[in-house]
């Protein structure tokens, strides 16, 4: 049998046709895949994307604490460094407390003096009151002496009158009359003295009563614990104790130290910034949305947040807390002034605060200033209408 051969021209035509068919099939497959992808994207946009707004202009923030001393003095110890994690109550800085201890000792001495002064005043009042009572007995004694002097005077007067009458008849000598006259004068002087003593005793009693009243008025209605002088001294002592306690500066909450600016030996004044404490368990996100995205954003809506630190593998779940009171440019140091003819509209952004889940923060810690991507679900109606 003779060998049959295919002409080379027909073979090339067959191979070209097969390649063309393969390209057409591949093109059709590509077109179908592209159409399906476009349809999926469109469906996703209609079903999901229209119910959310997103931005990558978002950053981690926190209500940081500025650590400042309440009292002045030289720094004795700095017990933390930048990046150190501390717990609430941990000692951060110690200020030299020598002056504060001296002030406390002085205040305690003043308090003891005030308490002793109150007791002395109270005892003096009681003593003066007893003295006033004793002056009453002095008045009684003086009055008794006055009665005796009055009786002596009356007797001397009767004796004098009788002798004077008898002297006229010559029955009594002149010496007897002189003696009776002298006795009458002495009795009269004794009576005057007794009257003066009664008056003096009464005056002494009145003076003692006034002194006792004045002394008792200082303590009347109060006790040693409620005396104004003691209260003032105790307040000064408490202030001195507080100043001493404030020489030890402690962390107000859990966090990380940043921006440490204080050194040992430095003399600081009250209110001098020493360091910043960042609360890592109370971070939030400030997402700056464009003004056109905020139509349906409401507090209480949920949000999903990812960070550049962990990437898309870690998704934080947050909640919208509130919207800012103004745009960033409105609160700028030099706000934009558009009252000129050369004005170009710039899309503004408004900060939206988003609260993060503390448990997710504990599992994947963040730091202030990190960039975040935020998507807020605006489909939920949390307005209460």
DSSP string, 297-334: --TT-EEEEEETTTEEEEEEEEEEEEE-SS-TTTTSSS
CB-CB contact of 292 with 349 (8 Å): no
Are residues 216 and 163 part of one domain?
yes
For residues 85 and 163, membership in a common domain is answered with no
Q: Kindly indicate the confidence band of residue 109, based on its pLDDT and cuts at 50, 70 and 90.
A: very high
Residue 118 confidence (pLDDT) above 60? yes
In a domain, 365, yes or no: no
Query: Is residue 284 pLDDT above 60, yes or no?
Result: yes
The answer to whether residue 107 is domain-embedded is yes
Clarify whether residues 209 and 269 are in a common domain.
no
Same domain membership, residue 122 and residue 73 = no
* Residue 28 scores a pLDDT above 60: yes
Query: With 90 as the cut, is the pLDDT of residue 206 above it?
Result: no
383 pLDDT exceeds 60?
A: no
- Residues with Cβ within 8 Å of 160's Cβ and at least 6 positions away in sequence, in order, are 177, 180, 181, 183, 184
* Mean pLDDT, the chain, integer: 82
Residue 56 domain flag:
no
Is 131's pLDDT higher than 70? no
Number of domains forming the structure of the chain: 2
User: Is a pLDDT exceeding 70 seen at residue 325?
Assistant: yes
- For residue 130, the enclosing domain spans 100-241
Q: Phi and psi dihedrals of 370, rounded to 5? A: -70, 150
Indicate the pLDDT class of residue 185, thresholds 50, 70 and 90: confident
Mean pLDDT value of segment 269-298? 92
Tell me: do 170 and 114 sit in the same domain. Answer: yes
232 and 265 housed in the same domain: no
Res. 384: pLDDT tops 50: no
pLDDT band at 55 (very low <50, low <70, confident <90, very high): very high
Residue pointed to by tokens 């946009």:
45
Mean pLDDT of 173-195: 78
Find all residues with CB under 8 Å of 98, minimum gap 6, and list them.
none
Q: What is the pLDDT of residue 385?
A: 45
Confidence category of residue 33, pLDDT binned at 50, 70, 90? confident
pLDDT reading at 311 higher than 70: yes
**Structural domain includes residue 17:** no
199 and 140 fall within a common domain: yes
Stretch 272-285: mean pLDDT? 93
pLDDT band at 115 (very low <50, low <70, confident <90, very high): confident
- If asked whether residues 216 and 198 sit together in one domain, one would say yes
For the cut 70, the answer to whether the pLDDT of residue 234 exceeds it is yes
**What is the pTM assigned to this prediction?**
0.62
Decide if 67 contacts 75 (C-beta within 8 A). no
Helices 228-245 and 98-169 cross at an angle (nearest 10°) of 170
Mean pLDDT of the 42-48 span:
58
186 contacts 156 by C-beta, under 8 angstroms? yes
* CA separation for the pair 248, 100 (Å, rounded): 11
Query: Between the ranges 134-148, 175-189, 287-301, 339-353, where is the mean pLDDT highest?
Result: 287-301
Least confident of 76-90, 123-137, 301-315: 123-137
């Amino acid at each position: 049998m003779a060998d049959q051969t295919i002409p080379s021209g027909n073979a090339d035509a067959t191979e070209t046709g097969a390649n063309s068919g393969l390209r057409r099939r591949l093109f059709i497959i590509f077109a179908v895949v592209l159409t399906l992808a476009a349809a999926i994207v469109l469906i996703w946009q209609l079903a999901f994307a229209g119910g959310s707004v997103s931005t990558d202009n978002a950053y981690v923030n926190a209500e940081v604490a500025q650590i400042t001393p309440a009292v002045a003095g030289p720094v004795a110890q700095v017990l933390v460094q930048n990046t150190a994690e501390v717990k609430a109550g941990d000692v951060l800085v110690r200020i030299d407390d020598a002056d504060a201890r001296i002030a406390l000792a002085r205040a305690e001495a003043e308090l003891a003096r005030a308490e002793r002064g109150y007791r002395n005043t109270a005892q003096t009042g009681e003593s003066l009151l007893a003295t006033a009572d004793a002056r009453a007995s002095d008045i009684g004694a003086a009055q008794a002496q006055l009665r005796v002097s009055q009786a002596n005077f009356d007797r001397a007067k009767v004796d004098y009158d009788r002798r004077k009458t008898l002297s006229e008849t010559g029955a009594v000598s002149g010496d007897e009359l002189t003696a009776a006259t002298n006795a009458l004068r002495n009795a009269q002087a004794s009576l005057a003295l007794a009257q003066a003593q009664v008056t003096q005793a009464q005056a002494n009693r009145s003076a003692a009563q006034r002194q006792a009243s004045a002394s008792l008025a200082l303590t009347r209605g109060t006790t040693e614990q409620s005396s104004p002088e003691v209260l003032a001294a105790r307040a000064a002592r408490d202030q001195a104790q507080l100043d001493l306690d404030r020489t030890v500066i402690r962390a107000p909450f859990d966090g990380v130290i940043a921006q440490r600016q204080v050194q040992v030996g430095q003399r600081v004044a009250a209110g001098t910034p020493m360091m910043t404490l960042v609360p890592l368990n109370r971070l939030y996100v400030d997402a700056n949305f464009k003004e056109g995205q905020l139509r349906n954003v409401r507090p209480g809506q949920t949000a999903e947040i990812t960070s550049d630190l962990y990437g898309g593998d870690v998704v934080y779940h947050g909640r919208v807390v509130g919207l800012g009171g103004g745009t960033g440019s409105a609160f700028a140091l030099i706000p934009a002034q558009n009252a000129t003819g050369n004005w170009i509209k710039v899309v503004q952004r408004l900060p939206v605060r988003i609260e993060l889940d503390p448990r997710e923060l504990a599992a994947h810690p963040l730091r202030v200033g990190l960039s975040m991507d935020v998507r807020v679900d605006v489909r939920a109606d949390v307005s209460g209408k």
